[in-house]
Structure 1
């Protein structure tokens, strides 16, 4: 609860379980904040102009959602910076990293694309933000001139590439080129790993049989497509001896391949998302045990994302195990939604009344629900520890992406926090989309019961979310751009081969 008094600090937080990646400090811990920075952590009482009594709840670093898609030209019915980041503080997220995209395979001016993205974001973000870049044609101009410039001047130290989608797909040789360049620059490489030829082959067979309902999206992208591409990109990373992050992993078999590489001390990192823990392909069907789409048989299109929702609970359990045993490095939302009831949104997949899953924009909304889902279904059920939660949602993303001021509670770091209710204090509720703050007309997690939710979210020492009182307190000019350093996660284990120098 809030109180106000005179004191040395702008803000003091106390009487909570303070969680960092390796430990939980007791409720006797006081945190003193001044000028937006954590100035003191003390076992003796501190005084401040504003006091927050956490009443025994968890005090954690502000969440970092390191995989979101906002204001992208290819999704005109998607979330903008303003509408997407509006949902960040209410869900405990204080920093997001969306994607600036190479405009086309023929447009090699990546710097201009980034500068244009800056104009989209400036004074339009309710939380702090950085950028990744997506590269669809890694030519010499981009690799040798523009990426170094972006890293040095803009603090953009991560690149995403794809093994699928005609617009973005890279050959193995192109992947090797970019891995080599990124190793020299210290840039983190994010890879969407699915076998495009398997997907195209199955897609043609389904189309021949007129099997194009939303459910067949999951059929067209089987686990083996992810498994093969995962093995292949790990092999390419070994060739160059460079770390990679494989994003939005959904397959236990593919995650086992990552685990095997990690056990051999190969620096391979893995990301997964809420949809691969809580949703099955059953949601894509006309009628499913969770939601019966009586009035709208196309409603399964809401759940189309790639990789797709998997077929069984046992497959979801396998992803949970990869979270529990440490294989998964970061937990992100892959927030990439489009409005359902919009001709350029999910309903673009209805052509003359006939469903075509290939024409449905990929992606689900999830910034606001990401942290509460894992907290309620992970920490509060005992599936994972509070420390593991902070690793996945806060400290590991900060280390992986060079967010040196974020991701942990320590003197000198940004005063970003999320404070939860003490267990059992908040009345459980069933989620409806109307409770959320994004610009999308549905949530895939409607109907889920939540036993906790962020009580306070604090960004650089300012309360930006107060669930008990005034709700969202941030404005769209609250967020600041964050220049990033290079990753502090494990890097190459050997010298660069003379062949590649």
Structure 2
């Protein structure tokens, strides 16, 4: 074998997969991993990992970038700033949402989202769909056609007036998922309960950000999760409950699984590292920075989330990055004002900090294994959304998307991050690791100090049938 057979060799890697950790050189050619082994021949380029941990590039399978919002509210991150930020935190693939607007075509939403992303993204991307208006045309023509073209996951909401579906509509879209081989994701919160509580809080003059948590207690997530599971059982189709925040919803998922149902679950950093107190302990508006739905719970609840990460309840760990600035009339101060909690744009930034937070607080503190970290941040999302084994793996034939980890003390400062948001909810947290190098298809994007990639590097990835779905041949 000649010394020119590799474009790049990553040497002395302590490679971590979802099932194993082993020492190896990684030979890369034409953007793919082509050989693993000791003492590989010299490559045209070389990176010496020096025994450091090397994981597959992260897949953030739940994030929002340049998603249209009601004026004047606008997301701070588009596909340019958002994907630079992702790469600097070890993420090499994102799956944001092409959101249908009520009264509009789902196909038009996908076309619009391609215009926003194509030629702009620095890393690879696929799209989820958001179905907010399941008309006969959408159910019978558009959605099946889009699934066939590689948009094999879609989200439905049980809350938010401009997005929510009723139970009959949810059953309709679940039936499409079953018949056409897609995975349905559900935002599970009881909309009527939230509105009832919100009206009563406002009638008592309770408008501060902290009351957002009072309007969305765990029981509204518990009830909607139970109902989502029942609807999935009726159709006999797997579902994934997104951004699970609380132990009561977790209990419902465990119940469903104990009864043989294919219920999958995702959680996010805010439910491990934030609490309801971060929304404020008084009526200060600063808590608007941490308004997201479902909201963070109490400190004791965090251990239930860690338990779910350890024991396999959760198979996906996403940021739910929703990048609204705190200052200015496009973000958390709509029209430049402090508004009642119900009008604060929901969401927090987290694309860049997702993987370092879980590596530092999970792996390095012994809460989860290195293999579990890989499963949650890369392999699990790839399998769930039809990208595996091209993504989320260190194996022959996989894209050479890799992260080399540097275990050193890092303090999170918003000024050091690369998103376009004016704050991070994790300001001042001390971590024990950060990516020293992020590679997308064998090209360095982040060298540990600077972003060195290019805007046109990212490609749209056509998703296949999610591998978590039952084998249609066996049904």
Classify the TM-score, shorter chain: over 0.9
- 2:319, 2:351 within 8 Å by CA — same for their partners in 1? yes
Match of residue 355, structure 2, among 353, 371, 376:
371
Match of 1:160 in 2: 155
Deviations 1:117-166 (A, max 9, x none): 1011011111100111101111221111111221223x111110000011
Match of 1:92 in 2: 90
Deviations 1:396-454 (A, max 9, x none): 10000001310001101101001102x4xx2x132110000001000011110011100
Measure, in 1, the Cα distance between the counterparts of 2:189 and 2:112.
30
Measure, in 2, the Cα distance between the counterparts of 1:137 and 1:467.
44
Measure, in 1, the Cα distance between the counterparts of 2:439 and 2:99.
30
Match of 1:411 in 2: 396
Q: CA deviation at 1:263?
A: 3.0
The answer to whether the aligner puts 1:446 opposite 2:427 as a matched pair is yes
Match of 2:367 in 1: 383
The aligned length equals: 470
Question: Which residues in structure 2 correspond to 1:68-107 (within 5 Å)?
Answer: 68-74=63-69, 75-103=73-101, 105-107=102-104
Deviations 1:148-207 (A, max 9, x none): 221223x11111000001111111111111101110011110100001111111001001
Q: CA deviation at 1:495?
A: 8.6
Describe the SS at the equivalent of 1:88.
helix
Match of 2:295 in 1: 308
Match of 1:212 in 2: 207
Measure, in 2, the Cα distance between the counterparts of 1:446 and 1:188.
35
Q: 1:495 to 1:196 in 2, by over 3 A?
A: farther
Measure, in 2, the Cα distance between the counterparts of 1:343 and 1:216.
21
Describe the SS at the equivalent of 2:139.
helix
The answer to whether the aligner puts 1:135 opposite 2:135 as a matched pair is no
Name the stretch that deviates more: 210-219 or 39-48.
39-48
The answer to whether the aligner puts 1:14 opposite 2:1 as a matched pair is no
Report the RMSD for the aligned CA atoms in angstroms. Answer: 1.8
Measure, in 1, the Cα distance between the counterparts of 2:426 and 2:395.
34
Q: CA deviation at 1:493?
A: 9.5
Match of 1:290 in 2: none
Measure, in 2, the Cα distance between the counterparts of 1:376 and 1:306.
25
Match of 2:445 in 1: 464
TM-score normalized with structure 2 length: 0.96
- 1:191, 1:246 within 8 Å by CA — same for their partners in 2? yes
Describe the SS at the equivalent of 2:300.
helix
- 1:349, 1:357 within 8 Å by CA — same for their partners in 2? no
Q: 1:315 to 1:494 in 2, by over 3 A?
A: farther
Measure, in 1, the Cα distance between the counterparts of 2:339 and 2:275.
20
Measure, in 1, the Cα distance between the counterparts of 2:76 and 2:292.
14
Q: CA deviation at 1:350?
A: 6.6
Measure, in 1, the Cα distance between the counterparts of 2:387 and 2:32.
15
Q: CA deviation at 1:492?
A: 7.6
Measure, in 1, the Cα distance between the counterparts of 2:444 and 2:357.
22
Question: Which residues in structure 2 correspond to 1:58-457 (within 5 Å)?
Answer: 58-74=53-69, 75-103=73-101, 105-107=102-104, 109-153=105-149, 155-285=150-280, 297-310=284-297, 312-348=298-334, 351=337, 355-404=339-388, 405-421=390-406, 423=407, 426=408, 428-457=409-438
Measure, in 2, the Cα distance between the counterparts of 1:476 and 1:309.
34
Measure, in 2, the Cα distance between the counterparts of 1:243 and 1:280.
30
Q: 1:145 to 1:490 in 2, by over 3 A?
A: closer
Q: CA deviation at 1:349?
A: 8.0
Measure, in 2, the Cα distance between the counterparts of 1:235 and 1:286.
37
Measure, in 1, the Cα distance between the counterparts of 2:176 and 2:168.
13
TM-score normalized with structure 1 length: 0.91
Unaligned runs of 5+ in 1: 288-292, 497-501
Deviations 1:9-32 (A, max 9, x none): 011112121111111112xx1110
The answer to whether the aligner puts 1:473 opposite 2:469 as a matched pair is no
Unaligned runs of 5+ in 2: none
Q: CA deviation at 1:265?
A: 2.8
Question: After TM superposition, which residue ranges in structure 1, 4 or more long, deviate above 6 angstroms?
Answer: 492-496
Q: CA deviation at 1:102?
A: 0.8
Match of 1:499 in 2: none
The answer to whether the aligner puts 1:489 opposite 2:473 as a matched pair is no
Q: CA deviation at 1:43?
A: 3.2
Measure, in 2, the Cα distance between the counterparts of 1:402 and 1:339.
33
Measure, in 2, the Cα distance between the counterparts of 1:179 and 1:241.
9
Q: CA deviation at 1:244?
A: 0.4
Describe the SS at the equivalent of 1:367.
coil
Measure, in 2, the Cα distance between the counterparts of 1:225 and 1:175.
18
Deviations 1:354-378 (A, max 9, x none): 5411111000000000000000000
